[in-house]
Structure 1
Amino acid sequence: MPVITNGGDAVRTVRGWFRDTTGGLPRAFWYLWTGTLINRLGSFVLVFLAIYLTQERGFSASQAGLVLGLWGVGGAVGTTVGGTLADRWGRRPTLLTAHLGAATMMLALGLARPLWAVALGALLLGTFAEAARPAFGAMMIDVVPEKDRLRAFSLNYWAINLGFACAAVLAGLAAQAGYLLLFVVDAATTLITALIIFTRVKETRTTSAAAVAKGDAAPRGALRTILTDRVYLGFVALNLFAALVFLQHISMLPIAMGDSGLTPATYGSVIALNGVLIVVGQLFVPRLIKGRSRSHVLALASLVMGLGFGLTAFAGTAWFYGVTVLIWTLGEMLNSPSNSTLIAELSPAALRGRYQGVFSLSWQIAGAAAPILGGLVREHVGNGALWLGCAAIGAVTAVAHLVSGPARERRAAQLRTAAVPVRPVTVIQPPAPEAAEAAATAPAEPVPARS
């Protein structure tokens, strides 16, 4: 009987953990979550684009890096425009336009043949695909209360990586049937996501006159406000350095594994470990880091990611590459939820779309620079120098997080205080002498009995 009792306690513990992790979140969040999962299940192209360009199309590593870099350039334009449109035009129309444009350009890229056409397709695809990111982030902050954002962002990140893990394996198999299939499936899942948003998610941007009176409408000089926010820009700069390291797994890692004699399917299986580990462990991360210093968590994440990528310099077999992926994935798991909650707390309500856009811009700059810099370092200095350089960047970024962390937390506390509505104080004036005398002589009204 004690075994049954222990088993029942375990079941209740699991149910309680599941309820604490997923319960109480608004319906709009779950529609966004579902769209994220479906979209990521078909995110084949970016994972295999470097292999497609070098092995299927015969482009050099530098040419492949240029195409991936143009994807990042387009993404930089997209996030900037998307963030502005999310605040001015609305989250929902921005998301719809971005997804429809991305699906169209996905098919165009798959059909492009000359290098200039492939490069142009990557540029436009990056523009549309990344224009959705700030609007999605702003909508997520709009619909989820502050107390639930850590687990909401963790759940959404979990969905991203569940889809990514499946997509990496499926893409390796689909590539054997023809690379065009990757582009078609990716476009189809993007369209399904657009359909979910169109039919199920309402606009969340506040545009009423009351909102303007409360300060929830975007003020003039918004760009100047962001450009003078040194605390936030410092945080964005640190994310840029982390992204320069992290995005090597899309650009240079598949090329390095190919040079080690490993097939695209092997790369797909190895990189899928990233998504599998996140799917298994990410939902436990919020409880692990809750109440801990975010600066310390981000510093540790930078160190672990740097270590994982640094060890790639010594890898030559599939299992060794797999170990490096598991190590830097642990750093990624610590980094993501802390980053997301900080962005939300450092963004004024009236500028959420623009602040999301500026943060996403760091990813797009890294998306443009990482493959180009990685390709140049690899060709002119060597494979080992590339990965050891990633480790050095991770260490420097960790120190910078420890130094800048207190200023970020002070700014977040200031914005939380400013966001608390001030209740008007009712001042009770003493009655005039005549009114006081009348009240004293008036008969008392009967008090109704409590039911």
Structure 2
Amino acid sequence: MRGLRRWWDDTAGGLPGTFWYLWAGLLINRAGAFALLFLSLYLTAARGASPSLAGLVVGAYGIGGAAGTLLGGVLADRWGRRSTLLAAHLAAAGLMATLAFSQHLAAIAVLAALVGVAHSMPGPAFVAAIVDVVPEARRSRAFNLQFWAFNLGMAVASLLAGVLAEASFLALFLVDAGATLAAALVIALKVPETLGRRQVTPRAVLGRRPGLHTALTDRTFLAFVGLTFLLAVLTMQTSTIMPLAMRADGLRPTAYGLVVALGGALIVAGQLFVPRLIEPYRRSTVLAVSTGLMALGFGTLTVADGLPLYLGASVVWTVGQMLAAPPNAQINADLAPPELRARYQSVFYLTFPAASFVAPALGGLSLEHLGERHWLVVGALGLCAAAGHLLAGGPRERRVAALRAADRQPVESRR
């Protein structure tokens, strides 16, 4: 019992109550996030779209997400974290309910783009709020638990979504909208505004006038963002291209739900042990190994033609995702100057909507013309990202050390 208590204290001890309400809101939201998992199947099976057209419509979600991410970062720094979260969740619920009753592909594409805006706005606010309330020494734990909650919710969503998709696509969208409203209620009742008085960031460290432009021209940070984009392209294969590949292999939606659920179950069972496992190693090394595992897992799909091989490959890339989550989030937080925290988060989160566009738009064409060789291309991208992390690790570490040294200076010396 004492050993279990000590493990829990090491894993989640000392985290403030506000973090746990943010965590709960994220968990509820993800547990009901059915629709986007099956959007490509919905478009091809229920609306008669080709794989290429379905990829473009799903890609519209990514285009909207890019705008929503930047908007969410600016609003979270100016308007507040809580207000941004509430506005985004309420808008997403309304748009998802509208999408449930839309029949024309053009209208679905427009709504998908708007849902992308609403779904991407909370990302920078969530992370900025966590950094606001969690002391630096405990942030790695907080980010690990955030990733755990995200995947616990996705595991629940995947299991239920496979059943709902075969019974009713309408229910798929409406349950998604209801879960988003429930998450908004938790935030409204339990999460206070965490944006306090802004800290002064030395111009010597920033190198230019503070603003969104700073994040968009920070070369060390952008190198990290670019590598994260490649990782996101790999991750997005599971929700965009893999369903189409499994359908081409004669597998049912429930089989796809089982593959995604297996990944979520592995994360739920093992993610809390990851921080202690990777603690002795440099973050760049951990990210290189994790991205290499993801490349291997997706590359294996080149020869997958049945459910067992899909399940085995899922285990490999899921282990990679598990190892990558804590250092990826921690590096992102460390590279952001305090007064630009949400803006840096918004630029970082651009990788995900961008990948949401690139992965299905180019992936649909690649799958259609290359067939199973598409997965060799995906594996090669992963290996390039692994090498990039090894090369970029040194400059990142020096940049973080400079920011921490500047933060320790008295405010008077910064003027």
TM-score relative to the length of structure 1:
0.88
Over residues 110-166 of structure 1, what are the superposed CA-to-partner deviations in whole Å (9 max), with x where a residue is unaligned?
Answer: 111001011011000000110111111111111111100111111111111111111
Pair 1:215–1:199, CA change in 2 (3 A): farther
Over residues 42-99 of structure 1, what are the superposed CA-to-partner deviations in whole Å (9 max), with x where a residue is unaligned?
Answer: 0101111111111122211011101110000000000011101111111111111100
Q: Following superposition of structure 1 onto structure 2, how do residues 100-179 of structure 1 map, counting pairs within 5 Å?
A: 100-179=90-169
Q: Following superposition of structure 1 onto structure 2, how do residues 25-174 of structure 1 map, counting pairs within 5 Å?
A: 25-174=15-164
CA contact (8 A) 2:212 2:344 kept: no
Q: How far 1:333 moved relative to its partner?
A: 0.6
Q: Could you say which residue in structure 2 is the equivalent of 1:23?
A: 13
In the alignment, which of 211, 222, 239 is matched to residue 228 of structure 2? Answer: 239
Pair 1:317–1:84, CA change in 2 (3 A): same
Q: Could you say which residue in structure 2 is the equivalent of 1:440?
A: none
**Partner AA of 1:88 in structure 2:** R
Q: How far 1:12 moved relative to its partner?
A: 2.2
Q: Could you say which residue in structure 1 is the equivalent of 2:310?
A: 321
Q: Could you say which residue in structure 2 is the equivalent of 1:446?
A: none
Q: 1: CA distance between counterparts of 2:181 and 2:412?
A: 48
Q: Could you say which residue in structure 2 is the equivalent of 1:384?
A: 372
**Partner AA of 1:115 in structure 2:** L
Pair 1:213–1:273, CA change in 2 (3 A): closer
In the alignment, which of 301, 311, 323 is matched to residue 334 of structure 1? Answer: 323
Q: Could you say which residue in structure 2 is the equivalent of 1:224?
A: 213
Q: Could you say which residue in structure 1 is the equivalent of 2:389?
A: 401
In the alignment, which of 392, 402, 417 is matched to residue 405 of structure 2? Answer: 417
Q: 1: CA distance between counterparts of 2:226 and 2:200?
A: 33
Over residues 405-432 of structure 1, what are the superposed CA-to-partner deviations in whole Å (9 max), with x where a residue is unaligned?
Answer: 000011011111111243989xxxxxxx
Q: Unaligned regions of 5+ residues in structure 2, if any?
A: none
Q: Following superposition of structure 1 onto structure 2, how do residues 164-203 of structure 1 map, counting pairs within 5 Å?
A: 164-203=154-193
In the alignment, which of 335, 338, 342 is matched to residue 349 of structure 1? Answer: 338
CA contact (8 A) 1:51 1:254 kept: yes
**Partner AA of 2:91 in structure 1:** G
Runs ≥4 residues deviating over 3 A: 211-216, 218-221
Q: Unaligned regions of 5+ residues in structure 1, if any?
A: 1-10, 426-451
Pair 1:116–1:420, CA change in 2 (3 A): same
Q: 2: CA distance between counterparts of 1:409 and 1:197?
A: 35
**Partner AA of 2:92 in structure 1:** A
State percent identity of aligned pairs.
Answer: 49
Q: How far 1:23 moved relative to its partner?
A: 1.3
Pair 1:395–1:200, CA change in 2 (3 A): same
Q: 2: CA distance between counterparts of 1:165 and 1:251?
A: 17
- The residue matched to 2:251 in structure 1 has which SS? coil
**Partner AA of 1:384 in structure 2:** E
Q: How far 1:214 moved relative to its partner?
A: 7.5
- The residue matched to 1:247 in structure 2 has which SS? helix
